[in-house]
């Protein structure tokens, strides 16, 4: 398939459509407005449905409805709007509804800034709503990776009947890059996916208690509820083996940069420039931030490493908490941070790395 030049938001939307997404509901918020705009003209072309919800709260619940009735469905937003969606996400997780949502993160807290940031890390990976649920959180570093992860998100959501979060940021969403789009699912393939969910979809079944669709985000029985929690916990644990990570020039590294999303890409570029100057730098870039790729940090040769440099667009540092849990004290952890909507500069990363190495 030919490469096309696309903006991140629109590339993700197109990838979703090609992955079989046939319902999208969303509400305007910067910097992700191109997603609902794109979907509003694209989905009708493939027999899908777009609804502009009256709020993020309504939009995510429309997705809850469409997905509980068997359709591949998606919503997107940016940080403050993601908070509003957390109610619906928790319900989807509880009721085991497969759905995908994307966060084009911006500065926070509060209304914060409309420019890119990575300040929703803990919300995305630890508590995206009430009730202690987890879900796969995929963090692309390029528009191409965003496209690929969008397809993975829908497959993962359906396989395990779980929400999946695409944790992007304002940079990934607004930059244009050449991308190779996936093959579009045919109408027959999309119909087959929906058909495969018919047994549990809340669309009407012959009158028979044993066969009714019963999609419930809770239970009146505390014993049943605990069982539901235990089954979910086992599933979350099973995801650990599916953690995805990019490890770049780590074998002989004296300094390991670690970052996710757009900062991972900036850090990778810094690694190349540091290497050109004779500094043995490496990178560990989690692609799934949940499940977190702890094993990649175990593979680091700590006898050679002076420090781990955590690079993130968040003050205070948030991603560093998972890094700390992964490094387990085997090396000191330094940080290179910016926030408020300021984009991490490669020069700042290089400077911070040199300071660590050269002391």
Contact flag: residue 59 with other proteins (CB under 8 A): yes
Contact flag: residue 23 with other proteins (CB under 8 A): yes
Are 49 and 59 a contacting pair, CB within 8 Å? no
Instruction: Name residues contacting other proteins, limited to 75-114 (CB under 8 A).
Output: 87-88, 91, 95
For 44, other C-beta atoms within 10 Å of its C-beta total: 11
Q: Pick the stretch among 54-62, 253-261, 302-310, 324-332 that binds other proteins (CB under 8 A).
A: 54-62
If you write DSSP's letter for every residue of 286-317 in order, what string do you get?
ESEEES--HHHHHTS-TTT-SEEEEEES-SS-
Closest approach, Cβ 336 to other proteins, in A, equals: 40
Closest approach, Cβ 163 to other proteins, in A, equals: 14
Contact flag: residue 202 with other proteins (CB under 8 A): yes
Contact flag: residue 49 with other proteins (CB under 8 A): yes
Size of the site for other proteins (CB under 8 A): 44
Q: What CA–CA distance (Å, rounded) separates 209 from 319? A: 47
Q: Pick the stretch among 144-152, 216-224, 225-233, 345-353 that binds other proteins (CB under 8 A).
A: 216-224
Are 80 and 110 a contacting pair, CB within 8 Å? yes
Distances in Å between the alpha carbon of 78 and those of 27, 96, 145, 149, 220? 10, 24, 19, 18, 34
Q: Among 80, 131, 182, 217, which residue interacts with other proteins (rule: CB under 8 A)? A: 217
Residue whose token pair is 């605990």:
226
Q: What CA–CA distance (Å, rounded) separates 56 from 60? A: 6
Q: Which is nearer to other proteins, 8 or 88 (CB)?
A: 88
Q: Among 70, 112, 286, 341, which residue interacts with other proteins (rule: CB under 8 A)? A: 70
Q: Which is nearer to other proteins, 84 or 348 (CB)?
A: 84
Contact flag: residue 189 with other proteins (CB under 8 A): no
Q: Which is nearer to other proteins, 66 or 327 (CB)?
A: 66
Contact flag: residue 220 with other proteins (CB under 8 A): yes
Q: What CA–CA distance (Å, rounded) separates 115 from 196? A: 41
Distances in Å between the alpha carbon of 249 and those of 272, 274, 278, 357? 9, 12, 13, 16
Q: Pick the stretch among 55-63, 151-159, 246-254, 345-353 that binds other proteins (CB under 8 A).
A: 55-63
Are 193 and 39 a contacting pair, CB within 8 Å? no
Residue whose token pair is 């949502």:
101
Are 66 and 38 a contacting pair, CB within 8 Å? no
Q: Among 7, 22, 42, 197, which residue interacts with other proteins (rule: CB under 8 A)? A: 22
* Pairing mode of beta strands 176-180, 3-7: antiparallel
Strand-pairing partners, residue 52, are: 26
Closest approach, Cβ 218 to other proteins, in A, equals: 7
Residues 6+ apart with CB under 8 A from 65: none
H-type helices in 79-135, by residue range? 79-95, 121-125
Q: Among 111, 203, 233, 325, which residue interacts with other proteins (rule: CB under 8 A)? A: 203
Q: What CA–CA distance (Å, rounded) separates 252 from 170? A: 33
Are 314 and 344 a contacting pair, CB within 8 Å? no
Q: Which is nearer to other proteins, 89 or 353 (CB)?
A: 89
Closest approach, Cβ 100 to other proteins, in A, equals: 14
Q: Among 6, 29, 73, 117, which residue interacts with other proteins (rule: CB under 8 A)? A: 73
Closest approach, Cβ 193 to other proteins, in A, equals: 12
Contact flag: residue 131 with other proteins (CB under 8 A): no
Contact flag: residue 163 with other proteins (CB under 8 A): no
Q: Which is nearer to other proteins, 217 or 340 (CB)?
A: 217
Q: Among 45, 188, 208, 358, which residue interacts with other proteins (rule: CB under 8 A)? A: 208
Residues near other proteins, by CB under 8 A = 22-23, 25, 49, 51, 53-55, 57-59, 61-71, 73, 87-88, 91, 95, 201-209, 212-218, 220
């Amino acid at each position: 398939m030919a490469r096309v030049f696309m903006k991140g938001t629109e590339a993700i939307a197109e990838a979703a459509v090609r992955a079989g997404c046939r319902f999208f509901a969303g509400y305007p918020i910067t910097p992700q407005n191109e997603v609902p705009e794109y979907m509003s003209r694209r989905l009708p072309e493939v027999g899908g449905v777009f609804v502009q919800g009256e709020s993020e709260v309504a939009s995510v619940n429309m997705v809850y409805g469409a997905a509980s009735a068997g359709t591949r469905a998606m919503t997107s937003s940016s940080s403050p709007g993601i908070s509003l969606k957390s109610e619906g996400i928790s319900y989807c997780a509880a009721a085991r509804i497969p759905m995908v949502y994307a966060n084009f993160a911006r500065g926070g807290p509060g209304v914060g800034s409309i420019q890119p940031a990575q300040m929703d890390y803990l919300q995305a990976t630890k508590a995206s709503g009430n009730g202690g649920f987890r879900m796969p959180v995929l963090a692309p570093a390029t528009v191409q990776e965003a496209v690929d992860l969008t397809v993975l998100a829908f497959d993962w959501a359906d396989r395990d009947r779980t929400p999946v979060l695409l944790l992007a940021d304002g940079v990934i969403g607004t930059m244009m890059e050449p991308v190779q789009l996936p093959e579009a699912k045919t109408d027959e393939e999309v119909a087959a996916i929906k058909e495969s969910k018919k047994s549990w979809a809340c669309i009407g079944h012959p009158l028979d208690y044993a066969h009714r669709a019963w999609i419930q985000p809770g239970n009146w029985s505390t014993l049943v509820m605990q069982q539901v929690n235990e089954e979910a916990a086992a599933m979350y644990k099973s995801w650990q083996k599916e953690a995805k990570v990019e490890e770049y020039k780590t074998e002989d590294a004296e300094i390991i940069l670690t970052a996710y999303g757009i900062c991972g890409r900036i850090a990778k570029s810094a690694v190349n420039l540091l290497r050109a100057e004779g500094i043995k730098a490496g990178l560990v870039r989690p692609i799934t931030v949940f499940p977190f790729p702890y094993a990649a940090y175990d593979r680091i040769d700590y006898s050679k490493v002076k420090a781990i440099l955590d690079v993130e667009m968040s003050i205070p540092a948030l991603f560093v908490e998972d890094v700390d849990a992964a490094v387990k004290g085997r090396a000191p952890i330094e940080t290179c941070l910016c926030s408020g909507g300021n984009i991490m500069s490669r020069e700042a990363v290089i400077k911070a790395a040199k300071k660590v190495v050269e002391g």
